[in-house]
A = this chain, B = another copy of it.
Amino acid sequence: MSLAARVSDPTSHPRLVSLIDHARSRPPLSAAVVFPNDEISLRAAMSSLMAGSMKPTLYGNKRVIESLARDHEAINDIAIVDTGSEPREAARAAVSAVRRGEHTALMKGSLHTDELLQAVLDRDEGVRTQRRLTHTFVFDLPGYHKLLAVTDAVVNIAPDIETKADALANAIDVMRTLGVARPKAAVVAAVEVENPAIAATVDAARLCELAATGRFGDAIVEGPLGFDNAISAEAARIKGINSSVAGDPDVLLVPGLNAGNILYKSLIYLGAGECAGIVQGARVPIVLTSRADSEFSRLASAALASIMASQAM
């Protein structure tokens, strides 16, 4: 059976290949896979984690997992924690193990994202931090000259200013960890001028003020910018925008889930892009998976989680 919707050509995405190679060059870390109780999530987790320098421990229904994996020799070397047939129990057990320091990353199996994130966010038993949970994609795009982080295209539906600030901080952390000393972030909206009728433009101005107070460390935050003048210095020049971020951002903060999600899928399906994605804001990075992800994308996500986890240790 095929796990991947799209067959990706890694030669088109050399920057993500480098990221994967970088993760592989490090000693393996331990990741908890939460409820990999169908063949897609089980095989995806095993192959991507192991290839991406993560040692998986599986939390789920042991009998089902062993049945699903009976043809794969690798299963004999993988720890399985039997948490029965209830996905929430697998999430609770995996998160508890993370609390005890047993794992440095989480990966979603065949449970709903909400079920996993609820366990992560539990006030008594979870692995919350001061920051909200936000999702960051790191894109390798044939039409752009370097890796580009996009946040938040997956988790927060209508982020308020504090959630946007955390999303920005989390994505800036990623790019800093990937070697960008002073990340440039563009807060994008439909237009590049502040307009009270478009809340995203007002939030953008506020985020620039927060940046000036040092909230994001050594980073340059500008906005509102249109997607055109964020991504193209020439488009910014024509519109008379004087910006050191325009045409060269490391991070794009989008206005909300609809805009971000549609953008991310357009970059994959019509922009020939590939991406790695993680949820940040918990004590450890979390890898979500979608059935439509390519194998390459799964591998890149595991590698990104591994790099972020090792940096946090």
Contacts and interface: CB of A to CB of B under 8 A. Distances in A.
B228 A292 contact: yes
A182 interface: no
Given A238-B5, A239-B292, A292-B238, A190 B257 contact: yes
A235 B198 contact: no
Nearest to A240: B291
Contacts of A79: none
A261 interface: yes
Contacts of A50: none
Contacts of A229: 292
A227 B5 contact: no
Nearest to A142: B270
B228 A268 contact: yes
B5 A258 contact: no
Nearest to A230: B265
A256 B260 CA distance: 12
Contact of A239 (B144, B254, B270, B291): B291
A258 B198 CA distance: 8
A270 B273 contact: yes
A258 B202 CA distance: 13
Contacts of A257: 190, 198
A265 B227 contact: yes
11 contacts: A157-B190, A157-B198, A189-B261, A200-B258, A231-B270, A232-B269, A235-B292, A238-B291, A254-B262, A262-B263, A271-B271
